[in-house]
Every structure is written in structure tokens, then in C-alpha cells.
A and B are shown apart, each in its own frame.
Chain A
Amino acid sequence: MFQFVIKRMGFIALSLLVISGVTFWLMHLTPGNFLELNVIMRPDQLGGDVTAIRQIQSAFDERYGLDKPLWRQYVTFVVNAVRFKFGPSFKYPTTNIEDLIAKGFPVSAEVALLATLVALIVGLPLGIYAALRQNTWIDYLITFISMLGVVIPNYVVAVFLLLIFSLWLRVLPTFGWGHWYNWIMPVLALSLAPLTSVVRYIRTSLVETLKQDYIRTAWAKGGSEKAVILGHALRNSLIPLVTVLGPQLGYLMIFSVLVERFFGVPGLGSFFADAALERDYPMLVTSVTFFAFVVMMMNLLVDVIYGFLDPRVRHGK
């Protein structure tokens, strides 16, 4: 197992190198630059003095090392990334990106974890219930509702939550952070998608498992309903769920941009959302690399958990 993890970490490092390199190259191919896009520097603002504009641009380039050849900029980035030092971004000129990550990532991660937890707490019983009452109206209802979760994006859910809790019931603030009740709406909005996955995967795989021979044997042995379903069937049905839930948790941590911005959650999403549009190079390449890192780590984690759930994996089969 230890060897396996080490090997995978090596692959992750290699992938990160490729991903950041491609991002770096692509973003420098795109026209447009930060100073112009933020109307910091436009010909009409400097009285049309073209020389002044060029010089300000070159001072800016020097400050951020943009005057160096691309490959050197990239090497600098990689070296700094290994030390987890990214320096200030264009948009946040007085704050280092690593500090933004250190502040924002725990918030994003906690919200994502909580959302997944809610999804499990609500989704597991629903999925099990639907599987046991297979092909009855209650099964159809649960399946239908979980289908809704697939098609309704979380920001639409966010709007509905806002209407219910802020406009009609008037119990929750629309925006803000720092109190426990600020968590309710973002977590609920984000939990719908994983909830849907939980219900569907648990239902399908439990239905499959219940048809297996060993389950029939367990019934034949005279096992109680609780023992057969929770003890024998559920454990094996969890494997596909873990497969989807791991990466989904990773996605929730980083792709909750819209919900985070909507409710004012000070997570990572809000920092990274505009980076591409505004050509904030340091922020853009850092965020893409970091996101890739998080998703790959979640996948690794899933594989490790597999080992515990399925002895065949653990013993290197």
C-alpha cells in the first residue's frame, strides 16, 4: 500500500507539471493584458502619452518578472510552487496567493465536506429505502426527485433557498460569513448534487447486490433484515459510491464558485473566478494547478479507501 501511494504521488507530480506547463503556455498565447483590462492603463488616461504607457507596462513586467523569457518564468513558477510560494497576483497586489489559498481553501473544503455529509445523511436512507421498495411508487418518487437534482444546477437551488429563507421566511441573511447560520444556504445548495449521486448509486448497487447468491444464503441462514441489509449488502454496495463521492468532494471544494460568490462565502472560488477573464497570470496558473492537485489527491484517497473496503485491492490483486 505504501509503495502504491508513493508511485501515485510521483504520477501526480508529473501530471501537475504537464497541466501547469500547458496552462502557462496557453494563457500567454491569449491576447489582452491585465493593465488594459482593468482600465489601469489606457491611452486616453495617460493623455495619449505612448512612451509613458510603454514604460509603465515595462515597470509592471519587471515587477512580476514578465520581461524574462517564458521558459524562465515557468521554471521560476515551478520552483516557487514546490516551496508553496506564489507571490502577489496582479489583482491582489499586496497579498501573496499562498496566503489567499491558506485562508480560502479551509473554508471551501469545510463547506464541501459538510455538504457531502448532509448528502450522505439524507441520501443513504433514501437510497436504501428506494432499493428495498424497488418498483413501487415511493421508489419512483425518490428516483424522480434525485433526477431533479441532476438537472438543476446548484446556483438555481441557491436562488430558491434565498427566496424561501430570506425573502419569505426572513430568517437567514442573504449574504455574509462568520456566523453558523451563514453556512445553511451554501451547504444546502451544494449538497443537492452529491445527494442525488448518493441516492442513485446506493439504490442501483443495492438492488444488484440483493440479487447475489450470498445474500440469498444470508437470508437462508435466517439473518434478520437489519443484519442482512446493513451487514452484508450495504458494505459491498458502498464501493461504487466511494468511487463517485471522492472526486465529487474534490469538485465541490473548487467548483462551487457560483454558490460561494452568491452567498459571500470567503472560499477559494471568489479569488479564482475572474483570474482568466482579467488575465491575472499568477492567479490563473496557480489556481489551475492547485485545483488539479486537489482533484488528483481526492482520487488517490478514494483508491486508498478502496483498499479498506475491498480486500482484493488491498492484497494487490
Chain B
Amino acid sequence: MLRLRRILVLSLVLVSLLLATQVVAGEQVFRFWHFGPIPTLDPQYHTQGKWLDMIALFEGLTQFDAKFKVVPNIAKSWTVSDDGLVYTFKLRDDVKWSNGDKITAQDFKYSWTRLLDPATNVMSVDPGIWYIKNAKEFSTGKLTDAEKLGIKVVNDYTLEVTLAEPAPDFPATLALPAFFPVPRKVIEKYGASWWRPENFVGNGAFVVQSYSPNTEIVLVRNKNYWGKRPALDRVIVNVGQGLQEVIAYQNDERDMALVGANDLALAESDPILKKELREVPVTTTEWIKWLHSENPALDDVRVRQAISMAIDRDKIAKIAYKGTWKAANSLFTPVIPGYSKNVGLRYDPAKAKKLLAEAGYPNGKGFPTLYILTGPTPTPGALGVADEIQKNLGIKVKLDNKDWGLYNKQAVELQKGDWVGFAYNAMAIPYPDLKAYLGAVNVQEMISYGGLKSADWAEYDRLRRLDIPAAAQRNDDAAVKKMEKRIEEILTKASPASQEFKAAVEAAVKEKDPAKRTALYQKAEDIRMKEAWIIPLFYGVNKWVVKPYVKGLVQNPFRVGFPLYLKTVSVAK
């Protein structure tokens, strides 16, 4: 028995020694977990890979600073024409690929054309790519001449971009992965596997050393990086489920870890973890969205307002979410400049009851069962919301949980029979601009959606989603024109509030003064919240533990709290 124990102890010591030797002395290594799998590192595909690209492997014309303001990067400066349509970017002349080649305006033209080309069909959908003139026409095959895209190379270090409509947020979107340059020579040589470690060429502070899509990706410092030399020599990215991150952090395998709601009690009771715990407010918002139905019970704005005012969000956030979410008053999150506390409706059960009674349902009497459509596993928040509405309004509330495939189908359709209710979901925006919350939604789409009664919306939706595309496929222009006219007729029936919403958003898009622009967006958001087309519920607040020796780390609120850029991070043990 004694011998057995000795052997055991000896082998344990051996293993720990081996573990310790993984890190070479003097080398700065940073280790963190990222969502997995990472199916590709091509930044123009919409996968988790493009976000890892943004963290370390590629850089665009612009970047964000620690306060999430847009700053020049590869573009050292830019000018905008008076009509807001033509952007002229002056590029730095010292920027290189990791193989030493220079990066010029040609690289950007090639990359953005590749992105939009239906033949390569890489389909990243970061906001902003549709701003470019003729981008939509080219990417959908209506236009085949790439030269007609609004991308022009003036000389090696001057790039001129023409937009389809004014977009003050265009420079911000250029910091996102879809706009990163990709190396033409390497892509033409290796095809789809150009990004694999053996072929990889990028322009970020790091390059890939090894790759396994769902286990581990190792990055090393790019020796040809044009900017300031990063402090880190090596980065180990664990790619997986992220189930045991806190244990891995305690076991000294990670330098930072996301603490989920389940691990929070552990982290708060552990003396070391407690000290290293920090809050990262993120831009994820949970909401419920009104779904039009054959039964028009929710067409009455008072009913929707009553529902919005009947939800005690603070209580749910505290009890069900244990503080990992906070009460929301709008879809704009406190993280971004332009957020206002004064937008939207407040929790007020007495007034909610009164509104419901005015709408003809005193104490919920006579109101059909209210459904909340959710994904396969309802969140604690969804359960809390259902409970609050039921308790405060006397309406019977049921959760309708569906597989995501069915959810997506049902959430865009007219609901059948007596199914009245909302769809529960969350969204996160990838860059700091109010327009991302509002403007990503087509204005016509929004007013038709929020401003039309169910019956009108059903006709509008059928025309737009089924009949017009079908007629267009038959090349029946006369029918298309007729139906488009019918849509305009329907839209005149939209509620006055929705018309006001439309006016505010359209004015904001053209507004050059940032303060006025923000005010217009706030006004639009206030209307949307008060009309309760979408009812805001919770803002995400992620908890992270970070080792005290990690310096220069900026956590990205647009991306869960992962590092914004690794080039600023150092590890001083």
C-alpha cells in the first residue's frame, strides 16, 4: 500500500513538472478562452473565426480605442464630401503583410470585391458592407461589373469609397472583420486553405502557429508587424464549450475567464476569485417583440404598454439572473454614447392595470392566453417575465418553446387563430453607434411592422415576402409595379407615431451634427419603446475574473468581454 502511494505521489510530481515546462522562461504568454468551434480564420466568413481575427490576426482601415471611439489605423486620415457620400482615405505607406509585402489601396479593393462577389460567396454580413454604392446589386448578381462598385483606387495609398446613401457610422464599421484586407497572392495560390497555419498571411500583431478548430489555437508575434511591437510572444486560445473556465482559471491555465451565472456563487465566496472578479457591461439586450396575429388583441397600443409596464425587470434581474443581467429601459445599452435613461416606459403595475382596463380587459378578463415564443430552452428571464405579466395583469401567460428552426419560421409569420403574444430573443450590436440599434432595421420595415394593425400587416407582409419576389422571378414588371403601389397605400395607414418614428430616423441619417443626430435617434427610440413594438427587458452584465498580472487589457463590451485587441496586453508575472 505504501509503495502504491509512493508511486502515485511520484507520478503526480512528474505530471506537475511537465505542466510547468509548457511555458518557456522569459516568454510572455497570454491564455484565454474563446467561443468555439472556430471553423475558419478567413475574416470574410461569418464564423467565430472572424472575431478572433479582429482580436489579433487582422486589422482594418480604422480601429477602436479603449473608450470605443473610432481612431485611424491603416488609414491615417480621411475626408468626407459635403453630401456625405464620398470618403477619401489616405493610407499609411509602412503597413505590411506578415510575409513582408506592402499593403496598398489595391489590397482593399481586391478584398472588398471578394467579399461582395457572388462567385466567391463568402457572405460576411457585418453592418456597413451594404453602404458601398452598388454593393447590393453586385452581391446579388444584378450587376456583374465589379468596376461599378463604389471602390476606387486613386493611387497606392489613396482609396476613394462612394456610398449609396450618407452613413456617418461608415468609418466605425470599417474596424469590423468584413472590411479587413485579405492577402490576394496567398488566396490565389492556396485557395480555401490559405488561412491555415502553414500558409497563413495576415496583417495583425500576431500570426497563427497551430490550429485545431475546437481545441486550441496558438498565435505567435508577427515579426513583420508594422505597428508598435506587442508585449506578448505567444497567445494560447482555448476553443471549446467554456464549461469549466473557472476551474481552469483556478488551475492556472487561463489568465482570464468568463464567470457564468452558475459559477457566480463560487466566485463570490472564494477569497481569491472574489478579489479578481470584475463586471463587464456588454451590449447584449434581451427583449420581446410583438407578433402580429389573426386575433388582433395586441393591436391596441394600450395593451402592449400595459404589458411593458407590468414587468418588474429589477426583480427578475436580481433573483432569476443573479445580477448577470440588469433592467433595461430601451434597446440602446448604457455602454454606448447616446444612451438615455429617460427613454421608454417604467415599471408601474397600477397604471398597467388601468391601461388594460381602458382597453376593455379589466383585471385581464376576456383577454386570450398570451404566448411568449422562445428558443428550445427558455431563459430564467423568460420565465420571470411570464410570471410578472400573469401576476400583475391577471392574463394567463404561456411559454411556447420551440426549436430554433421553428422559432425563426414562426417569428416572421402572421400568427394563426388565437395565438397572440411576443417572441423572446436577445441581440448584440458589434460597434458603438446608435444607428446599429435602429438603422440596421429598415425604416419601412419598422413602421410597417410597428405601425400597422395585424390585418394590414398581413397583406403587406404577403406582398413583400411572397408575391413581389414571385412576380419578379416571372419578370412580370407590371404586376410588381402594381403591388409596390399597393404597399405604399397600405403604409399610409401606419399609425401617426410610426410616421413620427420614420421622420426622426430619416432625419438622423442625414444629420451631420453628432449631438442633434443622437437626439433624433433618442426620439425615435422613445417612440418605439412607448408604442411597445419591442419591449426591452435586460442588459447583459458579464462577470469575468482576470489575473492581477495582466496589464493593458481592454475588454470588448460588443463581444462578451473578450479582449478588444491583444496587441495592448502584457503579462508581467
Binding site for B on A (CB under 8 A): 30-33, 36-38, 40-52, 54-56, 59-60, 63, 88, 91-95, 162-163, 166-167, 169-179, 181, 261-262, 264-266, 270-271, 277, 279
Verify if B408 is at the interface (C-beta below 8 Å from A): yes
Verify if B144 is at the interface (C-beta below 8 Å from A): no
Contact with A along B88-112 (1 / 0, CB 8 A): 0000000000000000000000000
B408: A residues at CB distance < 8 A: 32, 36-37, 42
- Known contacts being A51-B469, A173-B251, A176-B238, is A94 close to B405, with CB within 8 Å? no
CA distance A42 to B252 in the complex (A): 40
B195: A residues at CB distance < 8 A: 94
Q: Which residue of chain A has its CB nearest to the CB of B465? A: A50
Q: Is the CB of A261 within 8 A of B136?
A: no
Interface segment, one of B14-22, B296-304, B521-529: B14-22
Q: Is the CB of A166 within 8 A of B214?
A: no
- Known contacts being A166-B251, A171-B12, is A44 close to B440, with CB within 8 Å? yes
Contact residues, B124-141 vs A (CB, 8 A): 125, 127, 130, 136, 139-141
- Known contacts being A37-B405, A179-B18, is A173 close to B214, with CB within 8 Å? no
**Min CB–CB distance A208 → chain B (angstroms):** 34
Which residue from B247, B440, B464 sits with its C-beta under 8 Å from A167? B247
Q: Is the CB of B251 within 8 A of A170?
A: yes
Verify if B241 is at the interface (C-beta below 8 Å from A): yes
**Min CB–CB distance B488 → chain A (angstroms):** 16
B39: A residues at CB distance < 8 A: 91-95
**Min CB–CB distance A46 → chain B (angstroms):** 7
Q: Is the CB of B214 within 8 A of A270?
A: yes
B125: A residues at CB distance < 8 A: 40-41, 45-46
6 closest pairs, A vs B, by CB?
Answer: A32-B405, A48-B442, A48-B445, A55-B140, A92-B39, A94-B192
Q: Is the CB of A266 within 8 A of B215?
A: yes
- Known contacts being A30-B405, A41-B125, is A166 close to B442, with CB within 8 Å? no
CA distance A44 to B122 in the complex (A): 19
Verify if B253 is at the interface (C-beta below 8 Å from A): yes
Contact with A along B445-476 (1 / 0, CB 8 A): 11000000000000000001100110010000
Q: Is the CB of A63 within 8 A of B403?
A: no
Which of A38, A47, A49, A271 has most chain B Cβ within 10 Å? A47
Interface of A is mostly: loop
**Min CB–CB distance A237 → chain B (angstroms):** 29
Contact residues, B16-36 vs A (CB, 8 A): 16, 18-19
B386: A residues at CB distance < 8 A: none
Q: Is the CB of B192 within 8 A of A175?
A: no
B127: A residues at CB distance < 8 A: 45
**Min CB–CB distance A223 → chain B (angstroms):** 33
Verify if B42 is at the interface (C-beta below 8 Å from A): yes
Q: Is the CB of B140 within 8 A of A56?
A: yes
- Known contacts being A94-B39, A170-B16, is A262 close to B140, with CB within 8 Å? no
**Min CB–CB distance B76 → chain A (angstroms):** 31
Contact with A along B554-571 (1 / 0, CB 8 A): 000000000000000000
CA distance A67 to B251 in the complex (A): 51
A163: B residues at CB distance < 8 A: 247
- Known contacts being A31-B405, A91-B39, A173-B19, is A266 close to B45, with CB within 8 Å? no
B214: A residues at CB distance < 8 A: 261, 264, 266, 270-271
**Min CB–CB distance A238 → chain B (angstroms):** 29
B136: A residues at CB distance < 8 A: 49, 52
B468: A residues at CB distance < 8 A: 50-51
Provide a sorted-by-A list of 9 A–B residue pairs whose CB atoms are within 8 angstroms: A33-B405, A46-B130, A56-B123, A59-B121, A91-B39, A93-B192, A94-B193, A174-B253, A271-B37
CA distance A42 to B469 in the complex (A): 17
A31: B residues at CB distance < 8 A: 405-406, 409
19 extra interface residue pairs, beta carbon distance < 8 Å, beyond A47-B442, A93-B47, A264-B240: A30-B405, A32-B408, A47-B440, A48-B444, A48-B446, A49-B136, A52-B130, A56-B123, A94-B42, A95-B192, A167-B251, A169-B12, A171-B12, A173-B253, A174-B248, A174-B253, A176-B253, A181-B19, A262-B244
B285: A residues at CB distance < 8 A: none
Which residue from A59, A88, A173 sits with its C-beta under 8 Å from B192? A88
Verify if B118 is at the interface (C-beta below 8 Å from A): yes
- Known contacts being A95-B40, A175-B240, is A51 close to B140, with CB within 8 Å? yes
A279: B residues at CB distance < 8 A: 405
B42: A residues at CB distance < 8 A: 94
Q: Is the CB of B404 within 8 A of A277?
A: yes
B519: A residues at CB distance < 8 A: none
Q: Which residue of chain B has its CB nearest to the CB of A278? A: B404
CA distance A166 to B409 in the complex (A): 44
